[in-house]
Structure 1
Amino acid sequence: MYSHLLVPIDGSALSRTAMLSAMEFARDASAKVTVLTVVEPFHIFTVSSEQLETTREGYRQHAKAETAAVLAVAESEAKHFGIPCDVVQIESDDPYREIIRTAAQRGCDLIAMASHGRRGVAALVLGSVTTKVLTHSKIPVLVFR
């Protein structure tokens, strides 16, 4: 039924659990996966402790290293499940838009993601990324809790 899943992750424990469930689903469906992580760009005015404590270049290096580690785990888990896996890292202020855009560009027929991640105060004020994906995506969305 589904042949290509987009699995957005953010490094949180819940997104890792959702990723593993999505990979199990993909294995059972003989589907491939694309694992996506969206990194928030550096902002001079921010409440993010990672950005308050560093320079723009320091933040980029830290984000790149953290993202590489998260995506390496995804690739390793995909190998364990025996499924084809691509990984993608994008920098954006609008993760939900990038999730939907990446799914469309890569020909994904299902987005499989956690019910919530680690977006902090912005998630409380603006709503979760998952809710926005559910609201705006024309591609079916499978939400793991």
Structure 2
Amino acid sequence: MTASPFHRILVGWDASPAARTALATALALAGDRGSVIVRAVLVPSEHTETSGEQSRDLSAQRTWAQEQFDQARQALPAVAGHVRLDWGESTDIASDLITSAAEQGCDLVVLGRHGEDSRLRTRPLGAVVRQVTEQAGLPVLVVPAATAHRGGG
């Protein structure tokens, strides 16, 4: 097996099918020697009245994202040693992902192409993908959500 040129890969995580595909892709690219950092960016609600409500909202987002990550991780081949979930909190998801990738010395960012079915409060992932690919300063791989195989062809 050829060694991967990528050693630290950041995956944008919104728990959508495309994010799950991005995670699987990143793990395959990282191989046995690379590491994958899965970054979930929590977006504070604009419609909370108190800091306590906002805190509860962010806590609920975090719990849900963690549960979805745990489920996705269990469905993948045993690679537990080199994948971890990391957290951010921002209204600018793309900037958070770019900054995190740079701070953690990543050499690739993997993003899913769709995010509309996520329960996290994000703007459409297309805008995030566009901003990250234009501004990251490192390779960005954009993957579509996996689709069920439909017999024939």
Relative to the length of structure 2, the TM-score reads 0.74
What is the correspondence of 1:2-41 to structure 2 with a 5 Å cutoff?
2-27=6-31, 30-41=33-44
| Structure 2: distance between partners of 1:121 and 1:68 | 16
Structure 2 gap ranges (5+): 145-153
SS at match of 1:80: coil
Question: What fraction of aligned residue pairs are identical, expressed as a percent?
Answer: 26
SS at match of 1:138: coil
TM-score norm. by structure 1 comes to: 0.78
SS across alignment from 2:94 = helix
From the two aligned structures, give the one with the greater helix fraction: 1
- The match for 1:49 is none
Query: Alignment partner of 2:111: what SS?
Result: strand
Q: Would you say the 8 A contact 2:42–2:58 is kept in 1?
A: no
What is the distance in 2 between the residues matched to 1:25 and 1:80?
15
For residues 61-140 of structure 1, the aligned pairs below 5 Å read 61-73=59-71, 76=74, 80-81=78-79, 83-118=81-116, 122-123=123-124, 128-140=127-139
CA RMSD in angstroms comes to 2.7
Q: Structure 1 runs of 4+ off > 6 angstroms? A: none
In structure 1, list runs of 5 or more residues that go unmatched. 46-54
TM-superposed deviation, 1:80: 1.4
Deviation at 1:90, TM superposition (A): 0.8
Shift of 1:61: 2.8
What secondary structure is seen at the aligned counterpart in 2 of 1:18? helix
Q: How many pairs were matched up?
A: 134
Matched-pair contact (CA < 8 Å) for 1:5–1:108? yes
The change in CA–CA distance for 1:114 and 1:20 in structure 2 (over 3 A counts) is same
